[in-house]
Amino acid sequence: MKIYLKAKSIIYSMAFSRSVAIGHLKKPAKTLMRHMIKCIVYGNTTGNYDHWIGEISDYLVIANDIRLDPRNKKPDWDMFNTYLLGELGDTELDARVIIAEFKKDNEKAILTGKNHYPEFEPTCDMEVRLSTAVGNLKRLIRPILCNKNDYTKSGFTALVREALSV
């Protein structure tokens, strides 16, 4: 897995056209959103909490490595916020909707016998915690994604844990 991530990092750190960079940001967006939901809904009750945080951190490292042609500069915050983090929404209403969608997808997986997670009932507390965690994550990673320095996975992991500690 580490070799794969390093290879991905090397590939992604090349400069891309804006449209290709957007594609690289959009690809992990839904998975990142689902991992944030699972961290809030299940915590460590399934034993996957650290794995989800690790995957969120991996996506942030990859996003941080993206550079745009022709000057090899990082995308601006709006691009990260729109295409990588846009699925997370900004409000408690957004959190309610994405938690409901996750619940619906999980129920379908249960019915079809596919990989699924334990059933749950969405609560207002989950919505508030997810909305707060998303706001915290955006606030914590914005200065990193918007500067020219690179950041390690362990650094992003610490920020993701801090964001989720609501």
Sign of CA dihedral 137, 139, 140, 145: positive
State how far the alpha carbon of 41 is from the alpha carbons of 30, 151, 157, in Å: 16, 28, 19
User: What does the pLDDT read at residue 162?
Assistant: 98
Q: Which residue has the higher pLDDT, 5 or 75?
A: 75
Percent of the residues in the chain that have a pLDDT greater than 90, as a whole number: 83
6 pLDDT above the threshold of 70: no
14 pLDDT above the threshold of 80: no
Name 73's bridge partners: 68
Q: Return the domain boundaries, the chain.
A: 2-164
Model pLDDT for residues 59-88, shown as the tens digit of each residue? 999 999 999 988 889 999 999 999 999 999
Instruction: Tally helices (H) and strands (E) across the chain.
Output: 8, 2
Q: Do 162 and 144 meet the contact criterion of CB atoms below 8 Å apart?
A: no
User: What does the pLDDT read at residue 11?
Assistant: 52
21 pLDDT above the threshold of 80: yes
Q: pTM (2 decimals)?
A: 0.88
User: What does the pLDDT read at residue 144?
Assistant: 93
Helix, strand, coil percentages (3-state) for the chain, rounded to 5, are 70, 5, 25
User: For residues 140 and 159, what is the distance between their CA atoms, to the nearest angstrom?
Assistant: 7
> For residue 107, which amino acid is it?
E
User: What does the pLDDT read at residue 2?
Assistant: 54
Buried residues in 84-96 as b, exposed as e (16+ CB within 10 A): bbebbbeebebbb
